[in-house]
Amino acid sequence: MATVERTLVLLKPDAVARGLIGRVVQRFEDAGLKVVGTKMVQMDAELAKKHYFDLEERFGKEVFDLTANFMQMGPVIALVLEGVDAVANVRRLVGATFPNESAPGTIRGDFAHVSKAYSQSNKIVAANLVHASGKPDEAKYEIDLWFDSAELFDYQTVAEKYTF
């Protein structure tokens, strides 16, 4: 059953440094998603550990360290987006984790190109511009980690008349 839900999106330091904030946010808004929370944050080691709490267990210490260091290179833009099946729709708009595997028309497919093979052989993070929650329960955890309830807003857009 389709439901209105919220999800977390992080515009990573590479997206911020490349000046892609507006273009990326526009993709989400063009798809009928609503921004209900936003802020710029400099991720520190403690926040990286909480956000990527299972990364080391799943992929090893080296992957965790590379990812945490990358995310601390510069500010990130944290967004909470709301919409019908927001988690799945945001993931569809973002594209595959590795930009070279992302379809044209997705954020990663249009704005990034680093491959898994290149990032692994050079021991770097595949700069893929965006983090998006993978599942609704993950979205809830991440939203609660990044935002206080007072930082999230309920309001109605004109577009909701036609999309919700």
Annotated active-site positions, please? 131
Beta bridge partners of 34: 82
Residues 6+ apart with CB under 8 A from 153: 36, 37
- The type of residue at 18 is R
- Host H or E run for residue 141: helix 136-146
How many residues are there in the chain? 164
Q: Which of 92, 81, 107, 93 is nearest to 7 (CA)?
A: 81
Tokens of 75: 């500010």
Q: What three-state secondary structure class fits 154?
A: coil
